[in-house]
């Protein structure tokens, strides 16, 4: 075994007289992991997330929905439970998803063209594809 460091192994550690010592917290931080591609994983997951295309309704389906909306309008205030399937546009990319909502209609706002549910949820009439009860 070589003894190349025998002359310095027992010397005291050097302490600079010109520069202050680095605090322990800063010394530990220089060895923390570095993420060069911060947000890259989230970006890949967002790109891989699937969305659906909006279904275009034909005139017969639109007429059926109008008829069902009239029935709902006639039963406002009677705790009439409905199941509404509608398209919810995605906030980050093209397309969206179809959501089925169960609840009681509080009001049909013809000015805003939406349905207000008793729990405060608003559903745009133009996004509805089906109504059941």
pLDDT at 123: 95
Q: What is the pLDDT of residues 93-102, one digit of tens each?
A: 888 899 999 9
CA 124, chain centre distance (Å): 20
Is residue 81 predicted with pLDDT exceeding 80?
yes
72 contacts 123 by C-beta, under 8 angstroms: no
Whether the full predicted model's pTM is greater than 0.75, yes or no, is no
β-sheet with 128-132: strand ranges across: 122-124, 114-117, 96-109, 81-89, 128-132
94 phi and psi angles, rounded to 5 deg: -65, 150
């Amino acid at each position: 075994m070589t003894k190349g460091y025998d002359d310095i192994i027992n010397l005291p550690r050097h302490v600079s007289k010109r520069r202050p010592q680095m605090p322990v917290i800063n010394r530990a931080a220089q060895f923390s992991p570095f993420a060069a591609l911060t947000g890259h994983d989230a970006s890949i997951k967002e790109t891989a997330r699937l969305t659906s295309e909006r279904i275009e309704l034909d005139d017969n389906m639109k007429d059926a929905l109008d008829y069902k909306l009239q029935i709902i309008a006639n039963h406002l205030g009677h705790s009439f439970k409905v199941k509404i399937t509608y398209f919810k546009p995605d906030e980050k990319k093209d397309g969206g998803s179809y959501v089925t909502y169960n609840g009681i209609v509080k009001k049909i706002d013809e000015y805003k063209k939406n349905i207000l549910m008793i729990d405060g949820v608003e559903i745009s009439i133009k996004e509805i594809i089906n109504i059941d009860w």
